[in-house]
Chains A and B, each alone.
Chain A
Amino acid sequence: MTRSTAAPLLRQVAARLGTAIGVLFAVATLAFLLVRLSGDPVKQLLPPDATAAQEHTLRAQLGLDQPLIAQYGDYLWGLVRFDLGDSLVYGRPVADVIGERLPATLELAFGAMVITLLIAIPAGIYAAMRRGRAGDTSVMTAVLLGQSTPPFWIGILLILVFSVQLGALPASGYGTFAHLVLPAITLAVYSVAVIARLLRSSLIDVLGSDHIRTARAKGLAPGAVVLAHGLRNAALPTITVIGLEFGGLLGGAILTEQVFSWPGIGRLTVQAISDRDFPMVQAAVLFFAAAFVLVNLLVDLSYSLLDPRVRAQR
């Protein structure tokens, strides 16, 4: 990359990072306030027959008797030092607890995304090339069916067939490639539909444009036209959605994790919300926001690389 193209890109990255910090600050503040509206963690930590004095003592020990503004100050000061606080339930730094779940979340998200791309891209291209014909209808019906089916249902169906009946794959758990297969497929079903449908419609738009007509007039093979000229132009909206989908996957696939007992961040967050584990919820929300911001930043940057027109505008 030459100096002339690198400088605007760096400026863009810097501007985006500034925005990202602003977004994360806003998210952190919102998470701090909203989680405190959800209830009192001390009531969750102690059994119902605890006395008011026992509750008072624990509340003071956890620092929850401090004024809201003091708690907020502590929280922000902690964030500046990358200290997300200790979990009220686990009694350990929330960063450690989230860090333990991160590999499982990443593994599932990547696994599901690989399956999604392997199926959605060929399906979208095929459907676009066969527009209006039986092949298009069949593919689109299949993906729509996948999009309309709740993941927990697909998950349990897969467990019944592949684990209970065939004994081929484990029904739950984490650790080996075999454990990943069923949850990743379950999670991919929805994303396949989203991406295949979008790619199909984008390709159909592009295939009707002038430069494609020109390419065809030059006598290029239909496949080459689609792959060489159509796909690159249809890629921008598709990549945006792939980014959003991946951000969503990083945010935890709560139902899928629940069905397959997958030790990911989604399950951890749901549990933390029901436990009113304030520091854990705050950290998880921040993590999701950061994952989304990062993925979107990468998607934006990829535009510049993929489309010279975007580069030119900057």
Chain B
Amino acid sequence: MELMKGAWRVTHPVMSRRGALRLGGLAVPALALPAVLTGCGTAAGAPSGGELRVAQTEDPSTLDPHKQGDMITMNVLINIFDTLTARDTRGRLAPRLALSWQVRSPTAWRFKLRRGVRFHNGERCDAAAVKFSIERILDPATRSPIVELRYVKSVSVVDEHTVDIHTTQHDPILPDKLSLFGGVIVPPGYIAEVGDAAFARKPVGTGPFRFVSWLRDRELRMRRHPGHFHGTPNVRELVFRPLPNPASSLAALQSGEVDLVTGLTPDAARQLSGYAGVELENHPGTRAAYLNLDTESGPLRDRRVRQALNHAVDVPLLIDAVLDGKAREVPAMVPHGTFGFDASVKPYRRSVRTARRLLAEAGHPDGFTTTLTASNTDAQVAEAISGLLDRAGIRARVELLDPGTYASRLTSDNRRALGPLYLAASSVWTLDGSSMLQSNVRSDRRQSRWTSDRADDLIDAEELSVSPEKRAKAFSELQQLMLDEAPFVSLYQQDIILARTTRAHWTPIINGALAMESAEVSR
């Protein structure tokens, strides 16, 4: 696995006070005002040392880790709870509540657990807790939206510190899947005593921070847990605040009301350029975007047309012009830093001339007209891709959908619900290429619009092989096949962008989770 490096940081110089006097520019749109009114104000309500305040766009949906499946909620809960496995700062799978794991048989994984771990209420975290937790997710009564454990059948306790997880088929990336959502371990005794609802109101985990209070839509507060097996976190209190509007979250950062703003778009990050006391960072992330092509109807049935699209979409230009350079080209769907990435697979050479030639060979000398569908949250990228395609004669009308409608059509039984060409992305938080390819390649999968026996075989090989070498080989061959057959236009993987005050220090993990035990704040 290639490890991600090269995080960069820019500290902006202190701007002059004069900028603040430019209030005459009332006609300037308010969202652009941060560039005009430079930071010279005093911080409102500056916190006492040791408190770190993190802004996300939303509040968690619930504090029951098994009843949520979104990253915003996981980001909060990963600090209160521990998972069986985890990612270290270099993106490697690392021990957490489980110290080691191994394949016992094609349908069983054995996990050896850390000894002496206790929940915040003193309850022991042992094999019984692991069994309870995983079976709680699988229990239909829990209504868990966590879907990664789809092959898990049952859990058996071998001894107090050993469990076997049994699956219906071999799941080579089960340990990776247990590094977030499905791997969260909850206290069986406490839940039995207080019930699900009370547990969600006052969650008890084993994590580096204990839950203190939650004022919904205002702030969620936690305090460091001195008894954590990784030692006491540096930050005394950790506070998550929901700030839905990017402009307001940046204002809150400037006025010292929050220390860290995460999940920024390149556009929002650009607005912060030039502020005193604010540092902008982008770190490698794995969220990868691509165009899904309908290879079963219309002009896209012809491989040459699909290759033409790949030549036409100038991904490096797209990254520079629209994403402010805060992304990295993905050659063939499998992102850098995930298992299965093959550095020897090179992306398409971008050439409008080649694209036009291929189109002419395929019987479209004047190009053709099509539709490019995207969620309205990706409007800028979709419009830019449409512009790039237009240079080669492919007139792609952009159809933007609200995220809800987009999601419904994406997972619809009708594989053409999003039209011949759509922009999609996957977070690949498991850091395994199979998460990127599981829904859209094998011909029987829901989002697949490509029939290739070879691809199906290769997917089977990477999804079912016990041997990592065999899996890596299957991934390499699959990437080469996808380049040749071009059922997708592989685009880019986005950086994780965060803005912070100079008093806060933290390095994100490549899976994007806001695990703050390593964060520091200066007083």
Q: Which chain A residues have a beta carbon within 8 Å of chain B's beta carbons?
A: 38-40, 43-52, 54-55, 57-58, 61-62, 89-92, 97, 100-101, 104, 152-153, 155-157, 159-161, 163-175, 258-261, 263, 267-268, 271, 274-276
Contact = CB atoms under 8 A, between A and B. Distances in A.
28 contacts: A38-B404, A39-B404, A47-B145, A48-B439, A51-B446, A55-B411, A100-B217, A101-B216, A156-B247, A159-B251, A163-B44, A163-B251, A163-B255, A164-B39, A164-B251, A164-B255, A165-B41, A167-B42, A170-B44, A171-B252, A172-B248, A172-B252, A173-B219, A175-B215, A258-B244, A259-B248, A274-B402, A274-B404
B19 to A, nearest CB: 10
Nearest to A57: B140
Interface string B172-200: 00000000000000000000000001001
A40 B147 contact: no
Contacts of A47: 69, 145, 147
Interface string B245-260: 1011101101111000
Given A91-B62, A263-B218, A160 B251 contact: yes
A245 B295 CA distance: 54
Nearest to A176: B45
A90 B58 CA distance: 13
Given A38-B404, A92-B197, A164-B255, A261 B243 contact: yes
Interface string B20-41: 1001001001110110010111
Nearest to A262: B217
B68 to A, nearest CB: 9
B218 A153 contact: no
Interface in B372-405: 402-405
B407 A44 contact: yes
Nearest to A54: B147
B242 A261 contact: yes
B413 interface: yes
Q: Which 8 residue pairs across A and B have the least CB separation, nearest first?
A: A263-B217, A156-B30, A167-B42, A43-B408, A50-B147, A171-B251, A49-B439, A167-B44
A51 B33 contact: no
Contacts of B408: 39-40, 43-44
B62 A90 contact: yes
A90 B425 CA distance: 26
Contacts of B446: 51-52
Given A51-B147, A168-B44, A175-B218, 8 more contacts: A58-B145, A160-B37, A166-B41, A171-B255, A259-B245, A259-B248, A274-B402, A274-B404
Contacts of A173: 218-219, 241, 257
A169 B410 CA distance: 44
Interface string B396-433: 00000011110110111100000000001010000000
Contacts of A153: 29-30
A159 B31 CA distance: 11
Nearest to B29: A153
B406 to A, nearest CB: 10
A267 B245 CA distance: 11
Contacts of A275: 404
Contacts of A170: 44-45, 255, 257
B37 A165 contact: yes
B279 interface: no
Contact of B447 (A48, A54, A100, A267): A48
A61 B143 contact: yes
A166 B44 CA distance: 9
B37 A43 contact: no
Contacts of A267: 217, 244
B438 interface: yes
A52 B413 contact: yes
B244 A43 contact: no
Contacts of A49: 147, 426, 435, 438-439
A269 B20 CA distance: 37
A47 B407 CA distance: 9
Contacts of A261: 217, 241-245, 248, 252
A167 B61 contact: no
Task: Name the residue in A51, A100, A275 with the highest tally of chain B Cβ atoms < 10 Å from its Cβ.
Answer: A51
Q: How large is the interface on B (under 10, 10 to 19, 20 to 34, 35 or more residues)?
A: 35 or more
Contacts of A40: 408
Contacts of B33: 156-157, 160
Contacts of A259: 245, 247-248
Given A91-B200, A100-B216, A164-B41, A48 B407 contact: yes
B270 interface: no
A250 to B, nearest CB: 17
A204 B210 CA distance: 64
Nearest to B197: A92
B136 interface: no
A167 B255 contact: yes
B41 A167 contact: yes
A13 B152 CA distance: 61
Contacts of A61: 140-141, 143
Nearest to B61: A89
Contacts of A260: 248
Contacts of B256: 167
Given A40-B408, A46-B147, A258 B62 contact: no
A62 B143 contact: yes
Contacts of A169: 44
Nearest to A62: B143
Contacts of B314: none
Given A91-B64, A165-B40, A46 B69 contact: yes
B153 to A, nearest CB: 14
A12 to B, nearest CB: 39
B251 A156 contact: yes
A276 B403 CA distance: 11
B44 A263 contact: no
B454 interface: no
A167 B241 contact: no
A214 to B, nearest CB: 48
B517 to A, nearest CB: 25
Contacts of B248: 155-156, 159, 171-172, 258-261
A167 B243 contact: no
B257 to A, nearest CB: 6
Nearest to A257: B244
Contacts of B219: 173
B150 interface: yes
A39 B58 CA distance: 22
B20 A165 contact: yes
Contacts of B402: 274
A163 B34 CA distance: 12
A44 B424 CA distance: 15
A89 B247 CA distance: 27
A163 to B, nearest CB: 5
A274 B403 contact: yes
Contacts of B145: 45-47, 58
Contacts of A54: 147, 150
B120 to A, nearest CB: 22
B257 A171 contact: yes
B217 to A, nearest CB: 3
Contacts of B141: 61
A90 to B, nearest CB: 6
